[in-house]
Structure 1
Amino acid sequence: MSKKRKPLPEQPIEVEIESLTHDGRGLAHLEGKAVFVDGALPGERVQARYTRLQRHYDEAAVVAIERPSPERVAPRCPHFGVCGGCRLQHLAAPAQVRVKQEILQEVLARIGKVTPETWLAPLSGEPWGYRRKARLGVRYVPKKGRVLVGFRERRSAFVTDLTRCDILHPAVGERIPAIAAALQDLSIRERLPQIEIAIGDGPAVLVFRVLDPPSADDLARLAALGEETGLHIYLQEGGIETIRPLPGQAIALHYSLPHHQVRIAFEPSDFTQVNLQLNRAMVDQALGLLDAQPDERVLDLFCGLGNFTLPLARQAGAVLGLEGDAGLVARARRNAEHHHLANVRFEVADLYGEGALSPWLEGRFDKALLDPPRSGALAVLEWLPRLGVQRLVYVSCYPATLARDADRLVNDLGYRLVAAGAMDMFPHTDHLEAMALFERAEGR
């Protein structure tokens, strides 16, 4: 028999907010118990109402601010607080960057038991209109009599009723009502659950996921949406292999890294960084830290389309990019051929399996770059000293696994954590990316 939930107290509590948690909530303590408060900022005194009671902590939401933080700002978006697309619009953009650097410091010390010799200045850029990759939910709501298009509501499966989105690239963010109106009259409006957005240097692609085949009238309405807005319309009826443009809507997606004379072509379903401005700064910083020389061999793990590999090939003597997705590897090879880069090779490799790097043990690598997913790179770390890697740049999209892997590199494998810093790839969200530089200790 399931336990009955304890009823929530009706009276608000008054608490002092001590810090910001990794998911963007204010942390307070009441009678020794942690309370996570939605909508609160460090240094504030707030009234909050409980939303959930747990054994070791409670959750609450702000109902009144008794003493606001000097870094509190009015959220730009009218949907803030409901939409799950971002959580930090009430905190000034420079403060968001500072807080993310502080969270990285805390996570590296607590989980990794490491402190860098030098802190890199955080990377940040334009905080609005930056997002070029996203997934929007679509839902026809009979009670409203219309289709909603937007991010999911915070802690809910419902779709936010967006009128615009200021973190999305304006090509899409300013056209959400037009997109929703075009879907309103489709025969399959209840069988179209999501839209994938993909934008490079040029126009935007919208990939509509459809669970039933669209009618001829549906296709005509979607084509008209593309013609009226300049958006390029694609359909996806099954897996990613079914993605196809409507007639006349195909476009060759690409983005450039101008400091390295590199242009990277990609497909709508491929992983690319959501923030092109930050990606360019990130590549510049990573290559500067790695400092590859013409007589050196460099290993790029989790290389994807070659976002770092291709620029590295402009500097190093030879570069090997390894990636688990065969489709990405095929497109990375085409990107290398397009640039006539004969000193770079891409191969498919399971970077999570036993003996992940054993096929390449016959070679030596002077330096390496790792850009793993959230799960980190633990399975390949032990191979790095065996391959002779003396300098390593680690690009992370999840600080907890970076910290875990830093612990292994520094405390077990003989590397020093030379430098680390946060990257604000997703302004106004609690998402934190980071970069770290490791060097092999002398005599190891």
Structure 2
Amino acid sequence: MVSFYKPARKTAAASTKAITPVTVDALDMNGVGVCRGHKPILFVEGALPGEQVKAKITSSQKQMARASVKQVTQGSPYRRQPFCPVYQQCGGCQLQHADPDYALQERQQAMADYWRHQLKLTDLPWQPPLTGPRPAYRRKARLAIDGRQPGQVRLGYRQQGSKNIVDIPQCPVLVSELQQLIKPLKTLLNAFANSRHLGHLHLLAGDNVVEVSINTSRDLSDAMLNAWQDFGVEHGCNVVLEDSHGQQRLLHHHATLRCYTEDDLYLTPAPQDFVQVNRQVNQAMIAQAMHWLDPQPHDVIADWFAGLGNFSLSLARRCAQVQAVEGVAAMVHKGQANAQEQGIASIDWCQLDLNDAAAVQGALAVNFDKMVLDPSREGASTVCQALAGAPVEQVLYVSCNPSSFTRDAGYLLEAGYTVEKIGLIEMFPYTRHLEVMALFTFQARPTKKAS
């Protein structure tokens, strides 16, 4: 086939001129203000519906333009004073200027409008959103280190749109167990020239102990290693050293870290393992999943993209058999060991590439009654397409990306599923990140495949 060259579309140079005041009509799914009356349609960072603002264009294309607020000339009653002193510099939170409940409501409406347009879905069966503590919700953080100036180490997050590190005196969105470590961490880092060889710190607050993981590119001095060990003793936390090859060394062990998913079920993540950052919302999400899916003692349920077993453990408590599928072998081994430690033997742990169509088709030969999908931002395209030819009674889909969810929901709807319930999950308050849980039910009860 003949191919014709088309030059890449160029973004118009950003203008530095403040535009005339515009009126903001709505928020989009990411919490960005939308000005439909502007031509082209204008998306304004930091603006709220009903406001009149002066904004600076940052990029412009034929169909749309982006801008940031320079001045609010008529504010919204839902505008709030950001509670973080470095809100304007730090890239961690984007929506502290908005009342969180109002922002959630507006973003839900934006998603409903989007799915009505993309999927022809009207009157979606929305359930109340899942929310948790605000602002101190994060039990996990990665803090960057700039130790090039001895005695003036910078510890914090990357500046928005930059590689520069915003030095933080505190972080109000961290749980108190992590907040109280920031000052003593800075004190330790400022005491050693070796700090210039440190890349970042991982902090994780389990339900029983905090773990500090130190990433280093060089061997540390004995004095600094001793200081980290003393830090673990003084603050009652685990301290782990990780070199540039990913090799880990335990410097101080206080207790095996546990993150509870239910009152008596837990995960035991290592420093680099994925675990949801919001303890309370994660537990509420699992409880809602169990309520919606209603596992029965005879059910065989697939938990695909299972990770360490966030949903698998709760499913296994309620149904006959769970197949937990994860693509990373190390996660499979850890999940299996964790389940066995708790006496749970009804989970079949499998390593499988769920982007491999042949592997997915083979796995669907099992007589699953129900399925849980909790993929990464890329979604579960291969699985959802395969479910058209091998339907199950119900699919519970948890998504952290509206775009990939929309694509995958389209596959399921076309295959004969309907949306029985849907709801938002505010795992990351004050940020653009928003998750959704949806329960899809197959319209006709699938015929059981022969064993």
Same fold (TM over 0.5): yes
Residue segments in structure 2 that go unaligned for 5+ positions in a row: 1-7, 447-451
Which residue is equivalent to 1:299? Answer: 302
C-alpha separation in 1, matches of 2:46 and 2:63 = 21
Q: Which residue in the other structure is 1:40 paired with?
A: 47
Equivalent residue, structure 2, for 1:83: 90
Check conservation: 1:71, 1:91, Cα contact below 8 A.
Answer: yes
Identity %: 32
Change (3 A) 1:155 1:24: farther
1:256 maps to what in 2?
A: 260
Q: Is the 8 A contact 1:97 1:124 kept in 2?
A: no
Counterpart in the other structure of 1:341:
344
1:177-213 Cα shifts (integer Å, max 9, x gaps): 3212211232322221211122221222121110111
C-alpha separation between the residues in 1 aligned to 2:65 and 2:299?
Answer: 54
For the pair 1:50 / 2:52, whether they are aligned, the reply is no
**Is 151-160 or 432-441 further displaced after alignment?**
151-160
Cross-structure match for 2:175:
169
Q: Please give the root-mean-square deviation of Cα atoms over the aligned residues, in Å.
A: 2.4
2:441 — aligned with what?
Answer: 439
For the residue of structure 2 that corresponds to 1:356, the secondary structure is: helix
Q: CA deviation at 1:320?
A: 0.9
Q: Report the 3-state secondary structure (helix = DSSP H, G, I; strand = E; otherwise coil) of the residue aligned with 1:311.
A: helix
Paired position in structure 1 for 2:222: 216
Distance 1:7 1:22, change over 3 A: closer
Q: Paired residue for 1:395?
A: 398
* Total equivalences in the alignment: 438
1:342 CA drift (Å): 2.5
**Bigger mean CA offset, 106-115 vs 330-339:** 106-115
* Alignment match, 2:29: 22
Partner of 2:20: 13
CA contact (8 A) 2:424 2:435 kept: yes
How many Å separate the matches in 2 of 1:440 and 1:10?
54
User: What is aligned with 1:424?
Assistant: 426
When structure 1 is superposed on structure 2, of 224-233 and 320-329 the one drifting more is 224-233
Q: 1:361 to 1:117 in 2, by over 3 A?
A: same
**Distance in structure 2 (CA, Å) of the matches to 1:244 and 1:371:** 31
- Structure 2 CA distance for partners of 1:11 and 1:381, relative to 1, 3 Å: closer
Residues 381 and 186 of structure 1: CA distance in aligned 2, closer, same or farther (over 3 Å): same
1:149 maps to which residue?
155
1:117–1:33 distance in 2 versus 1, CA, 3 Å: closer
Distance 1:361 1:47 in 2: 55
User: Which residue, 356, 364, 367 being the options, matches 2:359?
Assistant: 356
Q: How many Å separate the matches in 2 of 1:365 and 1:443? A: 12
The residue that corresponds to 2:382 in the other structure is 379
Quote the residue 2:73 is aligned against.
66
Per the TM alignment, residue 9 of structure 1 is displaced from its structure 2 partner at its CA by 4.0
Matches within 5 A, 1:114-129: 114-115=121-122, 117-129=124-136
For residues 143-192 of structure 1, what are the alpha-carbon distances to aligned partners after superposition, in whole Å with 9 as ceiling and x for unaligned?
x9611111111111111121100111222223323212211232322221
Give the one of 350, 360, 368 matched to 2:371. 368
Amino acid at match of 2:285: M
Q: Does 1:200 align with 2:206?
A: yes
Shift of 1:36: 2.6
- CA shift for structure 1 position 419: 1.4
Aligned equivalents of 2:277, 2:231: Cα separation in 1: 24
Which of 59-68 and 9-18 deviates more? 9-18
Q: In structure 1, what is the Cα distance between the partners aligned to 2:113 and 2:151?
A: 48
| Paired amino acid for 2:110 | I
- Aligned equivalents of 1:8 and 1:182: distance in 2? 45
Distance apart, 1:298 and its partner CA: 0.7
Which one-letter code corresponds to 2:397 in the other structure? Y
**What is the Cα deviation at residue 433 of structure 1?**
0.5
C-alpha separation between the residues in 2 aligned to 1:297 and 1:414?
21
* Residues 46/156 of structure 1: CA separation in 2 closer, same or farther (3 Å cut): same
CA distance in 2: counterparts of 1:50 and 1:179, whole angstroms: 40
Alpha-carbon separation, structure 2, partners of 1:270 and 1:7: 40
Are 2:153 and 2:189, in contact at CA under 8 Å, matched by a contact in 1?
yes
Q: Counterparts in 2 of 1:306-345, with a 5 A limit?
A: 306-345=309-348
- Contact kept, 8 Å, 2:14 with 2:57, in 1: the verdict is no
- Contiguous gaps of at least 5 residues in structure 1: none
CA distance, structure 2, for counterparts of residue 7 and residue 352 of structure 1:
39
User: Any conservation in 1 of the 2:112–2:124 contact (CA below 8 Å)?
Assistant: no
Q: Distance in 2 between matches of 1:275 and 1:226?
A: 24
Greater alpha carbon shift after TM alignment, 341-350 vs 225-234: 225-234
Indicate if the aligned counterparts of 1:356 and 1:380 stay in contact, CA closer than 8 A.
no
Q: Quote the offset at 1:308 in angstroms.
A: 0.7
Structure 1 residue 404, shift from structure 2 partner: 0.8
Indicate how the Cα distance of structure 1 residues 282 and 198 shifts in structure 2: closer, same or farther if over 3 A, else same: same
Residue equivalent to 2:164: 158
